[in-house]
Amino acid sequence: MFFSFKPISVLTRSIALATLLASLGLGYSFTVQAQTAVPKIKMAYAKCAHCLSMAMVPGLAKGVEIEAINFNSGNDALTALVSKSVDIAQVTYLHFVTGLDKGMDLVAVSGQVNGGSELLVAKDSTLNPNDWAGLKKMIADYKAQGKPFRIAASRGNAQDLHMRGELVKNGINPSRDVQFVNIPNPADHAAALQRGEIELIGTVEPFASQIRLTGVGKHFNFPYEQAAGRLTNLIVTRSDVVKEKPEAVRQTVASVVKLVDQLNKDKQGWIDSIVKGTGLDKAVATEALKNAYPDISMQRSSTHAIAEMMLDLKYISRDVSSDIDKNMNYTFLTEVTGKPASALGY
């Protein structure tokens, strides 16, 4: 008698082995269908109106799994990035330039949302909007009385830079003429103004709108006439992430591009993200978006102007022009959008 043997497939043998081991009580588990690993990215973003829209990015992602982590400020997001706790971070042009000055490994890969800055005074202030002559007189009066004119901001964020640049442009020396009060968490700005601890504040949306709508303070100026203009947010990563996870970075940039396109068309999801992220009401969130400008481009020449202004203000210690050119990577934006770098701010 002759027996005919057919080749046993690898799959059949594996299933048989798994069954045998299970019957022997060895607790062996076997996955029959192999799964293709999806690259993962941890992404940090700050707590402000234009930043909180980053919470929507994971839902827009294709080909990458993004974990979005919210921090109180861009400083915290930057720290998480350079300490390798996250792979990508939404920070500001100021953070990018400051980081380059300190020798940090930072690579800018996309813009996101700009604007969000406002200068406000207390509700009972006699100053009218954009009355720089009146502000200078008030500062001089305080000095004559031996009192400091106190201005608050969150040291090191974009709004701090916008404000200082605007003061210089209007003949006020930030180092000599006024006293700065650092309030790291923008959510605390309204309370400081309400308690009379400061005379003027440079803050970020939606907290600026909260101050106005609740009657705690009133508008003085949108500080966009200085070198940075209204530029605010950048999406940055590190060179090791670009090298080791290029496709994950590309797909994350693609998700940010989708986000910006969506923000320009429909702001409801953006409003919802602000309400959820800050606990402020819908009216404040809606008002805040009047001072926000979605844009994926990275403005290279303006970044040079920002760095020059920061050097003058002693935010940085050296000329970082060559570092800016080397560390603004337009590759992913051009691949995702099909546009040349020249159309994306280069």
pLDDT value of residue 24: 45
Determine the Cα–Cα distance for residues 129 and 307; give it in Å rounded to an integer.
28
- Among residues of the chain, what percentage have pLDDT more than 70? 90
Lowest mean pLDDT among 131-135, 202-206, 331-335: 202-206
Q: Same CATH fold, 117-221 and 42-115+231-343?
A: yes
pLDDT digits (tens, 9 = 90+) for 24-51: 444 434 343 334 689 999 999 998 888 9
CB 42 within 8 A of CB 85: yes
**Residue 9 — pLDDT band, cuts 50, 70, 90?**
very low
pLDDT at residue 31 in the model: 41
Single out the residue of 153, 165, 306, 302 nearest to residue 224, CA to CA. 165
Angle at 229 between CA 193 and CA 137, to 5 degrees: 45
Domain boundaries, the chain: 42-115+231-343, 117-221
Q: What is the pLDDT of residues 94-114, one digit of tens each?
A: 999 999 999 999 999 999 999
Mean pLDDT to the nearest integer, 155-179? 91
CA distance linking residue 297 with residue 278, whole number of Å: 27
Which pLDDT score is estimated for 73?
85
Write down the CATH superfamily of domain 117-221: Periplasmic binding protein-like II (3.40.190.10)
Average of per-residue pLDDT across 166-180: 94
Confidence of residue 6 (pLDDT cuts 50, 70, 90): very low
- Cα(229)–Cα(226) distance, rounded to whole angstroms? 6
Q: What is the mean pLDDT of the chain?
A: 89
CATH-assigned architecture of domain 42-115+231-343: 3-Layer(aba) Sandwich (3.40)
pLDDT at 96: 96
